[in-house]
Amino acid sequence: MSKYLIKFTKCSIIRYISHLDLMRLFHRAFKRSRISLTYSQGFNPHPKMSFAQPLSLGYTSVGEYLEFETLKEYSNNEVMERLNLVMPAGIKVTDCWKLKNNNKTAAALVCWGSYEITCQGDFDQPPGQAVQSFLQQNQILIQKPQKKRKEMTEIDIKPLISQFKIIEEKQGQVKFLVVLRAGSQANLNPELLMAAFYAYMQKIYVKEDVSIKRLELFDQTQKALYEIHER
């Protein structure tokens, strides 16, 4: 039995499939690649495979991670090659690590995520200044729907933002880089941040004008997941 962590990209139109669809996609890809995964025991065995952090439908990413357990041992390169041979367009495995047994799972490690956000359209006021003053607020309150109950609750997202800056500004388009809490403890969806920022600027948030790309996932100390594992 061997454990691996792979890093992969989810690009172009395949961003329009959901997290569940992606799970099924990998499940089938492993079967096609003839890399045999170990299965859980019990009445309803399922392959041992888990993603570090789900990606919202519609986002692209160059920093997705998946862990899995195989029956046989393969070299890191072999895992990558075999998987890439059978992947549909848009998914590409870019790195692979063999894990030691005592590693914490990737899902448990994830604490932060970085995103590149591209907004189409012009801003009335210089967005750079707006970002500054937006972040200088004591609290950044947003309405968030409750998972179980349907009512909205107000939360302060300021502690969930580590970085929020402009990396490119040109006619009709602004690119932001943000680092936000991610994972099971606390999580901030970049769309919620952008909606709050647009509201702050008194601008209407149009979903189709904003595209989001995840760049990387980090642990508590903001060390990227790929830096954590030795080759």
Q: Does 86 bind another protein (CB under 8 A)?
A: yes
**Which stretch in 41-49, 147-155, 166-174, 195-203 sits in contact with another protein by CB under 8 A?**
41-49
- Nearest approach, Cβ of 32 to another protein (angstroms)? 4
Q: What is the dihedral of CA 182, 45, 9, 118, to 10 degrees?
A: -40
Q: Which residues contact 174 (CB under 8 A, 6 or more apart)?
A: 118, 119, 123, 127, 166, 168
| Stretch in the footprint of another protein (CB under 8 A) among 38-46, 123-131, 177-185, 218-226 | 38-46
Nearer to another protein, 39 or 74 (CB): 39
- Identity of the residue, 103 or 211, whose beta carbon is nearer to another protein in the bound complex: 211
In this chain, which of 2, 81, 90, 186 binds another protein, going by CB under 8 A?
Answer: 90
Cα 198 from Cα 93, distance rounded (Å):
35
**Minimum distance, C-beta of residue 84 to another protein, in the bound complex (Å):** 13
Judging by beta carbons within 10 Å of its beta carbon (0-12, 13-18, 19+), is residue 103 exposed, middle or buried? Answer: middle
Q: Would you give the binding string for another protein spanning residues 6-35, x where CB under 8 A is met?
A: ------xxx-xxx-xx--xx-xxxxxx---
**Residues 186-205: x where in contact with another protein by CB under 8 A, - otherwise, as a string:** --------------------
Do 17 and 25 contact (CB within 8 A), yes or no?
yes
Convert residues 44-83 into a mask of x (bound to another protein by CB under 8 A) and - (unbound): xx-x---------xx-------------------------
Say if residues 187 and 34 touch (Cβ distance below 8 Å).
Answer: no
What is the C-alpha separation between 153 and 37, in angstroms, rounded? 42
Buried b (16+ CB within 10 A) or exposed e, 53-86: bebeeebbbbbbbbbbbbeeebeeeebbebbeee
Residues engaged in binding another protein (CB under 8 A): 12-14, 16-18, 20-21, 24-25, 27-32, 39, 43-45, 47, 57-58, 86, 88-90, 207-208
